[in-house]
Amino acid sequence: MSKIDSSAAEIAALKQELAMLKRLKTGGPQGTGKGALAQVDTKGKFVRKESTFRDEIKKGGKYPPESGRYVLYVSYACPWASRCLAVLHLKNLDNHVEICKVHPTWQRTKPSNPLDGHIGWVFVDPKDEKTTFSNTAGYGRFGAMPNTTVDTVNGFRTIREVYDSQKDKYTHTYSVPILYDKKTKSIVCNESAQIIEFFNKEFNDLSGVKKELDLSPVELKKDMEEVNAWVYKGINNGVYKCGFAKSQEAYSEAFGELFEALDKCETILAKNRYICGKKLTMSDIRLFVTIIRFDEVYAVYFKTNGKLIREYPNILGWTRELYQIPAIAKSVDMAQIKQHYYTSHPNYNLYGVVPLGPSGMKSSKGDVMAIFKKPHGRDTI
């Protein structure tokens, strides 16, 4: 190839990228279903929308706790969905609540409609070894992954279709988790904070459920509410406020709140074995799902690079202890977590290149979770 041909090819490639960036900036669904990236106010602050479906699982109610009646739609990549999985496994509800697991890489949810640019959660058959696809900008090459499923309940291709099947409801985001009633074909709830409480108490009379495990003890209710409030504001939602900020001011404010909250965690965990004292509670689960993702994703992708979790000795030890509980570890799939974040938002990572992190180092022998498998040392606290 001559220098002229080479230059022409480079110019053509640049034009293609500019066109793609323009489409990413202006693209989006027509009218409804905007994703998290669109939830930004006029000052560039990320403002999370409230969940739409808020019914209850309750004895004698519209949705009673019955074995095999409900399905949980999740992504292992999503921290809000993962806390539902952690509680489901801790309570031994695996044989009572079906789980449908989406693929981590977002795709267009209505590809046949050129005017609809919404991208979101889709199902990919894990047995389909032939299908491959790029990110929505046309870069990267991804395929089926283990620990995912098709929609075994409705046969839907996307999470959006689950929401669209609810004709009498409007939702601003097509999010997971979803707790779905197979009997009435209705979404019961898509608020993770409620779903984890349903799993904690409402299914206790079913066979094999660990009813003796109460993650929301009454005597710690006040303490848990206080912790949940500042952990959500500063950490759970705080990493997103950093990552999705569209102004320096919004980012800097969220950054300060995040590390103030992490410092507070470090101080508490220096004295207490768990975030609310001597017992493992729901507050620990709510905090854990963000912390386990921090170094591999948020510190890089969301620019939360003040300190790494491995630089907080007490938070690190606490994280190790929780991860070494098999039911909680079962809710963590770091391969899916990393693939989702780094391949699903082309306007943040155009080429979909996934950082290797410790898994790329010989010292960790390719195990990205090696740091969390070391002795936690929390027994003496």
Q: Which residues are catalytic?
A: 78, 240
Residue 141 is given by DSSP the state -
Residue 283: Cβ-neighbour burial (10 angstroms; 0-12, 13-18, 19+)? buried
Question: Are the beta carbons of 74 and 81 closer than 8 angstroms?
Answer: yes
Q: How far apart are CA 96 and CA 179, in angstroms?
A: 13
Question: Are the beta carbons of 251 and 245 closer than 8 angstroms?
Answer: yes
Q: Which residues contact 147 (CB under 8 A, 6 or more apart)?
A: 76, 101, 126, 333, 336
Residue 164, token pair as written in the block? 């669209």
Residue 352, token pair as written in the block? 């979909």
- 2 φ/ψ angles, rounded to the nearest 5 degrees: -75, 165
Question: Are the beta carbons of 175 and 190 closer than 8 angstroms?
Answer: yes
DSSP string, 225-268: HHHHHHHIIIIITHHHHHHT--SHHHHHHHHHHHHHHHHHHHHH
What H or E segment, with its residue span, contains residue 143? Answer: strand 142-143
The distance of Cα 215 from the centroid of its chain, to the nearest Å, equals 21
Strands 186-189 and 97-101: unpaired
